[in-house]
Chain A
Amino acid sequence: EVQLVESGGGLVQPGRSLRLSCTASGFTFGDYAMSWVRQAPGKGLEWVGIIRRKGYGGTIEYAAAVKGRFTISRDDSKSIAYLQMNSLKIEDTAVYYCTRDMAYGSGSYGRMDVWGQGTTVTVSS
Chain B
Amino acid sequence: DIVMTQSPDSLAVSLGERATINCKSSQSVFYSSNNYNYLAWYQQKPGQPPKLLIFWASTRESGVPDRFSGSGSGTDFTLTISSLQAEDVAVYYCQQYYSVPTFGQGTKVEIK
List the interface of chain A (C-beta within 8 A of B).
Answer: 35, 37, 44-47, 50, 61, 63-64, 97, 102-103, 108-113, 115-118
Contacts and interface: CB of A to CB of B under 8 A. Distances in A.
Interface residues of B, number: 25
B3 interface: no
Nearest to A64: B1
Nearest to A108: B97
Contacts, number: 57
B52 A112 contact: yes
A102 B61 CA distance: 13
A35 B49 contact: no
A61 B51 CA distance: 23
A116 B49 contact: yes
Contacts of B55: 102, 111, 113
Interface in B62-112: 93, 95, 97-106
